[in-house]
Chain A
Amino acid sequence: GAGVSQSPSNKVTEKGKDVELRCDPISGHTALYWYRQSLGQGLEFLIYFQGNSAPDKSGLPSDRFSAERTGGSVSTLTIQRTQQEDSAVYLCASSSYSTGTGVEQYFGPGTRLTVT
């Protein structure tokens, strides 16, 4: 079946503009994660959605970052007033179980964001 998809694959924006990144998880997966991967760095956790529970936003680096997950499926990560340090690859992953530990996360191809 279809894997996790993300759009756009690449996004170039000017400093100060808002951007929206989209993630379509694998159908039926209840858990959805957003990560940020900067050059030479490990994946940085941003936010976690599980079913209808309140999301874990503990990884969001500032209040310029927000995310929604509508209908328990598609998720949108929004970055307001982008800064150059926001340039990175934003990865989305989904998994099928509620706890997440021990369960494989399936990753999308990522969105490469460049802020000029």
Chain B
Amino acid sequence: KNQVEQSPQSLIILEGKNCTLQCNYTVSPFSNLRWYKQDTGRGPVSLTIMTFSENTKSNGRYTATLDADTKQSSLHITASQLSDSASYICVVSATGGSYIPTFGRGTSLIVHP
């Protein structure tokens, strides 16, 4: 069964600090992995997408890494801002015609001033 596990479940940091969110998956055969940001009361918005051959991808202060061998990904947030407070969701898609991705439960990040 395809699964996506995220850790930690929640995280509180001070503004300006860095943090790293983790995602482990068992989706196979692997196609791509996305990180979404979901603000409270809003729908998820894509931050990055990574395919099998990509190790690192950045989007501003967000940097995603992928290790396809160990089936792990991380999302690193640099110099956090109050607006980074949100839920971060790891989503993994499989090849072979499956158009329904597998969603993690998300990590809830709170950035305090």
Contact = CB atoms under 8 A, between A and B. Distances in A.
Interface of A: 4, 31, 33, 35, 40-43, 45, 48, 50, 56, 59, 91, 93, 99-102, 104-110
Interface of B: 4, 31-32, 34, 41-46, 49, 51, 89, 93-95, 97-101, 103-106
Nearest to A10: B41
Contacts of B100: 33, 45, 48, 56, 59, 100
B43 A42 contact: no
Q: Which of B31, B49, B99, B106: most chain A Cβ within 10 A?
A: B99
Contacts, number: 60
Contacts of B106: 42
B97 A99 contact: yes
Contacts of A50: 99
A42 B94 contact: no
Contact of B89 (A31, A40, A43): A43
A107 B45 contact: yes
Nearest to B36: A107
Given A4-B43, A41-B105, A108-B43, 16 more contacts: A33-B100, A35-B103, A40-B105, A42-B89, A42-B105, A45-B100, A50-B99, A91-B44, A99-B97, A101-B93, A101-B95, A105-B101, A107-B43, A109-B41, A110-B42, A110-B43
28 contacts: A33-B100, A35-B103, A40-B105, A42-B106, A43-B44, A45-B100, A48-B99, A56-B100, A59-B100, A100-B100, A100-B101, A101-B31, A101-B93, A101-B95, A101-B98, A101-B99, A101-B101, A102-B32, A102-B49, A104-B46, A104-B49, A106-B43, A107-B43, A107-B44, A109-B41, A109-B43, A110-B42, A110-B43
